[in-house]
A = this chain, B = another copy of it.
Amino acid sequence: MDKKELIEEDLKYIWRPFTQMKSLEEDINKPILIKRGKGIYLEDADGKKYIDAVSSWWVNTLGHSNKRINKAIAKQTKQIEHVIFAGFTHKPVIEFSKKLVKLMNNKLTKVFFSDNGSTAVEVALKMAYQYQVLKGKPEKRKFIALKNSYHGDTLGAVSVGGIDMYHKLYKPLLFEIRQAESPYCYRCPMGCTKENCDCECLQSVENILKEEAQNTAGIIIEPLVQAAGGMIMYPPKYITKLRSLCDKYNILLIDDEVAMGFYRTGKLFAYEHANIVPDIVCAAKGITAGYMPLSVTVTSEEIFNAFYDDDKDGYKTFYHGHSYTAYPLALSVALENLKILEEMDIEKYLQPKIKKFEQELQIFKNHKNVGDIRQTGMICAIELVKDKNTKEPFSYEEGIGKKIYLEGLKLGAILRPMWNCIYFITPYIIKEKEIEKLVKIAYTALNKVLPNEE
Q: For the complex, is A349 an interface residue (Cβ under 8 Å from B)?
A: no
Given A19-B86, A153-B321, A319-B153, check contact A98 B13 (CB 8 Å): yes
Q: Are B86 and A17 in contact (CB under 8 A)?
A: yes
In the bound complex, what is the Cα–Cα distance between A79 and B44 (angstroms)? Answer: 11
Asked whether any CB of chain B lies closer than 8 Å to the CB of A253, the reply is: no
CB-based contact A15/B70 at 8 Å: no
Which residues of chain B have C-beta atoms less than 8 A from A152's C-beta? 322
Copies in the complex: 2
If A88-B31, A172-B141 touch, does A397 touch B307 (CB 8 Å cutoff)?
no
For A161, give the chain B residue with the smallest CB separation: B319
A6-B94, A129-B170, A174-B175 are known contacts. Are A320 and B17 too (CB-CB below 8 A)? yes
Query: Which residue in B31, B118, B290 is a CB contact (below 8 Å) of A89?
Result: B31
Q: Which B residues lie within 8 Å of A12 (CB)? A: 98, 109
Is A212 interfacial (CB-CB < 8 Å)?
no
Question: Which one of B58, B77, B414 lies within 8 Å of A73 (CB-CB)?
Answer: B77
Interface pair B310/A88, CB less than 8 Å apart: no
Verify A319–B18 contact, CB threshold 8 A.
yes
Q: Are B89 and A64 in contact (CB under 8 A)?
A: no
* A42 within 8 A of partner (CB): yes
Complex Cα spacing A318 to B170, Å: 11
Of the four ranges (under 10, 10 to 19, 20 to 34, 35 or more), the interface on chain A belongs to 35 or more
User: How far apart are A119's CB and chain B's nearest CB, in angstroms?
Assistant: 6
Decide yes or no whether A324 CB sits under 8 A from chain B: yes
Tell me, yes or no, whether A312 is within 8 Å of chain B by CB: yes
**In-complex Cβ contact of A330 among B10, B292, B317 (8 A):** B292
Chain B residues, Cβ within 8 Å of A323: 56-59, 116-117, 284-285, 293
Contact A16 B86 (CB under 8 A): yes
Which residues 316-360 of A have a CB within 8 angstroms of B?
Answer: 316-327, 329-330
Taking a contact as CB atoms under 8 Å apart, the answer to whether A65 and B89 are in contact is no
Residues 6-60 (chain A) with a chain B CB within 8 angstroms = 6-7, 9-10, 12-23, 31-37, 42, 52, 54, 56-60
A sample of 13 more A-B contacts (CB under 8 A), given A9-B98, A10-B94, is: A10-B97, A13-B109, A17-B325, A32-B89, A33-B89, A34-B89, A59-B82, A69-B77, A115-B116, A118-B322, A125-B155, A175-B175, A312-B397
11 contacting pairs across A/B (C-beta < 8 A): A33-B88, A34-B89, A34-B90, A35-B90, A37-B82, A42-B83, A56-B83, A73-B74, A129-B170, A166-B319, A313-B396
